Amino acid sequence: MSNTLQGKVALVTGASKGIGAQIALDLAAQGAAVAVNYSSSKQGADDVVAKIKAKGGKAVAVHGNLSEPDAAKSVIAETVKALGPIDILVNNAGIYEMAPLEGITPEHFHKQFNLNVLGLLLVSQAAAQHFNPNGGAIVNISSGVSTVTPPGSAVYTATKASVDAITAVLAKELAPRKIRVNSVNPGMIITEGVVAAGFAEGDFRKWVESITPLGRVGNVEEIGSVVAFLASDGASYVTGETLHVTGGPR
């Protein structure tokens, strides 16, 4: 086990399951102390913390629904109180809902933008005030949809295109403070959420596999390892990038 993140403090938002949980496990495996943020699934977050502790790592579960404007400050405050100044922030908390143009409502729009865009900005804003003075890394979890632009995903795709743009802007804003900002744009990854939504099998998956050069969907480990790299000093000269982890360009 490499300890490339030994002594670092990481916060992973939306880390009670799926991609976020795997990111938390991977950062911990490389030596980071991890704050596992969750909104509704305390059990899921506690399970991730228990797995990290079972392997000798350090972790805490931190509650906060990041679609609520005041939650960002409390999540950051709890993290810093428990673990110390932040070295790594992974903005993974997000939501997706599909709807064709005629099905878009203000509620559908705001539900996704409030978490995927505003929540990400507010957490980054709060975290930046409590980052290690030596700098660190922010990794935003965007999505391959920002370039694949599937039909019926106008609002969700717009949120992720926003994340890509925000990544580029914040990379410039935070560079003087030695905080690198990159985004990871996953393709279709099999998670509990994807299974629950009915996308794990059937026509949508077949379509994704048909347009993916590697010819398959991905798994959470294939995202976690890339995030851990971008969070590490191995990526010390990488900022403002959107790294597509999608099995190849569409």
In angstroms, the CA 120 to CA 117 distance is: 5
- Is residue 215, in this structure, part of any structural domain at all? no
- Is residue 38, in this structure, part of any structural domain at all? yes
- Is residue 60, in this structure, part of any structural domain at all? yes
- Which regions of the chain does DSSP assign to beta strands (E)? 9-12, 33-38, 59-63, 88-91, 136-141, 179-186, 242-245
- For the chain, give the mean pLDDT: 97
**What is the value of pTM for the model shown?**
0.97
- Is residue 109, in this structure, part of any structural domain at all? yes
* pLDDT tens sequence across 148-158: 999 999 999 99
Catalytic residues: 156
Q: How many domains does the chain have?
A: 1
- Is residue 166, in this structure, part of any structural domain at all? yes
pLDDT at position 1 over 80: no
User: HEC string of 91-149?
Assistant: ECCCCCCCECHHHCCHHHHHHHHHHHHHHHHHHHHHHHCCECCCCEEEEEECCCHHHHC
* pLDDT tens sequence across 22-57: 999 999 999 999 999 999 999 999 999 999 999 999
Where residue 44 sits, what CATH number does that domain have?
A: 3.40.50.720
- Is residue 4, in this structure, part of any structural domain at all? no
pLDDT at 250: 85
- Is residue 173, in this structure, part of any structural domain at all? yes
- Is residue 93, in this structure, part of any structural domain at all? yes
pLDDT at 11: 99
Q: Which range of residues forms the domain containing residue 167?
A: 9-192+221-237
